[in-house]
Amino acid sequence: MFNARLAFPADFEGWRAAARTALALGVSPEDMSFTVGDEAPGLFAEPLPAPPENAPQPTVPRAFPELARKLVCHADADRFVFAYQLLWRLQTEKTLLDIASDPDMIRAAEMEKAVRRDSHKMKAFVRFREIEDNEIGRHSIAWFEPFHHTVELTAPFFARRFAGMVWTILTPERTAHWNGEELSFLPGATRDMAPADDDMEALWLTYYASIFNPARLKVKAMTAEMPKKYWANMPETALIKPLVAGAEAASRRMIETAPSLPSFRSERLKERNAMTLPRMEKTPEISPGLGYNKAPDTIEEAREQAAHCQACALWEPATQTVFGKGPEDAPVIFVGEQPGDQEDIAGEPFVGPAGKVFDQALAAAGVDRRQAYVTNAVKHFKFEPRGKRRIHAKPNMSEIKVCRWWLDQERRLIKPKLIVALGATAANAVLGKTVTIKATRSKLIDLDPETKLLVTVHPSYILRLPDQAAKERETKAFEADMALALETVPELALAG
């Protein structure tokens, strides 16, 4: 029996080095154990000897290192041996990662999902409190209790997001510290080491009260997304009860007053403006074996997978993936270009100004949007920060191509009778080739024996038209296209 000693609970590099050595020595997973820090190894376990000279490097599929990195973050005490077992099997079973029904792959997928969720919760629920430190000046400190060993995995997110701050995230097991330039990790801490109160907290409470949108209040969903476990560290939870109690009256007030942009938008913008759009990298090919354990079986599953999509660089500056919305058996899919500023914040397609034009045209044609599935060719908002604003930037061909995988999943799962492409980007994404609106507009094109395509303009084209007469003319033509959609698929009709 051999043992490898790792430095900390999610020591991926330590695990990788030990796993390579063990593999080179031919140590089977049953004969391998790992200990962390000063944990005592089993009575008969010997330290791993040095690997033989010129031992070959193991070969693994491209997706494995990322998977292993997540597996070693899981709370499962057996995680290191399990990851090693996968590596061991991969030496002879090259397609193992693609076998979704293999019990080890089922276990790996569950572990990976749990770690991703834990990391997501940390991103969402860490709350910094600011103190004035004699030595380093303003210092933001947060206390958080992750369930899995996700501090190292998640800290780079905070380093990117809060690059201009000096911050420390204390957890019972590990501490992450960002000095403004470099990320470092220290031993764990206790809750009383985090400051309890400060100006920032008062500011945050005001902010939370102002972003709390009573019209969208879903207490059940809120408690599911924000488990009570995290409430103790989140000052705004003290506000939830009174806000919920006042929600109905506040909702009425909101309807009565003119809609205004949610104030958290400006907070988001401030955060975003600190960042520049990352360089477009070569887009990796997405496939069930690469990054996703399997192609989704339902739209819900696709939405959950897409929420973590990082297949192109657009995911990072965007607030979230904006996946399609509508019934899973909708007879029609409307495809736009990409979410805009408001969609990016709301997480739903076509809810901003272009959505208003779209809704008005649907209503004028007698189409019920609720019967349709509405989505976009690209699922993340691409923008360029300009001052305090985020200016829409057109997605390029490679972004459209990479994101087409999601559109294909939506098409495969929904099986619509008709796809309506709103604008040239959508038409290109659906057809997989460049077409012009002029050549394709208002015709019913056969995509396959069951599905037709109707190409029309994008609603923002109408919004941008400077002169009123052109606006009216184009609105009528757009409404006529919506009426053609209804004529082709009468199930879209508004009731009554």
Q: Which residue ranges make up the site for ligand URA (CB under 6 A)?
A: 336-340, 343, 349-350, 352, 354-355, 376, 460
Question: How many other CB atoms sit within 10 Å of the CB of residue 321?
Answer: 23
Q: What's the rounded Cα separation, in Å, for the pair 191 and 250? A: 36
Residue 183 pairs in a beta bridge with 178
| Smallest gap from residue 135 Cβ to ligand URA (A) | 47
Residue reference for tokens 């965007």: 318
Query: Helix count (H) and strand count (E) of the chain?
Result: 18, 15
Cβ atoms of 426 and 454 within 8 Å: the answer is no
Q: Residue 248 Cβ, how far from ligand URA at the closest point, in Å? A: 29
Q: Give the closest residue to 413 by CA, choosing from 295, 315, 266.
A: 295
Give least dist CB 204 to ligand URA, A.
Answer: 30
Closer CB to ligand URA, 426 or 492, in the complex: 426
Strand bridging mode 383-386 / 373-376: unpaired
Minimum distance between the CB of residue 414 and ligand URA, rounded to whole angstroms?
A: 17
Minimum CB distance to ligand URA smaller for 72 or for 462: 462
Query: Whole-angstrom Cα distance, residue 355 to residue 337?
Result: 12
Cβ at position 440, least distance to ligand URA in Å: 17
Provide the angle, in degrees to the nearest 10, between the axes of the packed helices 12-25 and 79-90.
50
Residue closer to ligand URA (CB basis): 14 or 352:
352
- With CB atoms as reference, the residue minimizing the distance to ligand URA is 336
The separation between the first and the last C-alpha atoms of the chain, rounded to the nearest angstrom, is: 75
Taking the complex as a whole, how short is the minimal distance between the CB of residue 458 and ligand URA, in angstroms? 6
Sheet containing 373-376, strands listed edge to edge, beginning at the edge strand earlier in sequence:
373-376, 332-336, 418-422, 451-456, 444-448
Beta strands in 40-115 (DSSP E): 46-47
Cα three-residue angle 228-233-247, rounded to 5 degrees: 60
| Residue 99: CB minimum distance to ligand URA, A | 37
Shortest spacing between CB 199 and ligand URA, in angstroms = 37
Q: How far is CA 485 from the centre of its chain?
A: 32
Report the nearest approach of ligand URA to the CB of residue 369 (Å). 12
Taking the least distance from each CB to ligand URA, the nearer of 236 and 410 is 410
DSSP assignment string, 342-353: HHHHHTSSS-SH
Cβ proximity to ligand URA: between 67 and 345 the closer is 345
Token pair recorded at residue 334: 């409307």
In 98-214, which residue ranges form alpha helices assigned H by DSSP?
Answer: 103-125, 151-161, 199-211
Nearer to ligand URA, 155 or 346 (CB): 346
Angle, alpha carbons 413-223-355 (nearest 5°): 50
Which residue lies nearer to ligand URA by CB, 140 or 376?
A: 376
Instruction: Report which of 458, 460, 456, 463 is spatially closest to residue 488, judged by C-alpha positions.
Output: 456
- Taking the C-alpha atoms of residue 274 and residue 385, their distance in angstroms, rounded to an integer, is 9
339 neighbors 496 (Cβ within 8 angstroms):
no
**Residue 269: DSSP 8-state:** H
For the CB of residue 372, give the shortest distance to ligand URA in the complex, in Å: 13
Is the CB of 204 or the CB of 334 nearer to ligand URA? Answer: 334
- Cβ proximity to ligand URA: between 108 and 354 the closer is 354
Residue 22: CB minimum distance to ligand URA, A = 50
Q: Minimum Å distance from CB 406 to ligand URA?
A: 14
Separation of alpha carbons 334 and 422, rounded Å = 7
Question: Is the Cβ of residue 233 or residue 320 nearer to ligand URA in the bound state?
Answer: 320
**Nearest one of 199, 266, 269 to 235, comparing CA atoms:** 199
